[in-house]
Amino acid sequence: MSSGPEFGLAAMYRIMKKSGAERVSDDAADELRKVLEEVAERIAKQAAELSMHAGRKTIKPEDIRLASKNVIRL
């Protein structure tokens, strides 16, 4: 969908370090970025569909919450 990465690698390193990783490889940070961007795109797409179904052009927080529950099954 997008031409380049939307999330920075530094954020991926911070997430993994905060989660307990002592060291993080560049490939691991890049892979996490790819996975998170794919999940984010799926959530955004479904949230847009939910807002349109509700007769709105604006995506609201509840659209994101519902879409994220459907996409990642939390």
Query: Rounded to two decimals, what is the model's pTM?
Result: 0.84
Contact 50, 71 (CB under 8 A): no
**Domains of the chain, with CATH numbers?**
26-71 (1.10.20.10)
User: What digits encode the pLDDT tens for the residues 37-48?
Assistant: 999 999 999 999
Q: Report the interhelical angle of 9-18 vs 26-53 (nearest 10°).
A: 100
| pLDDT at residue number 3 | 74
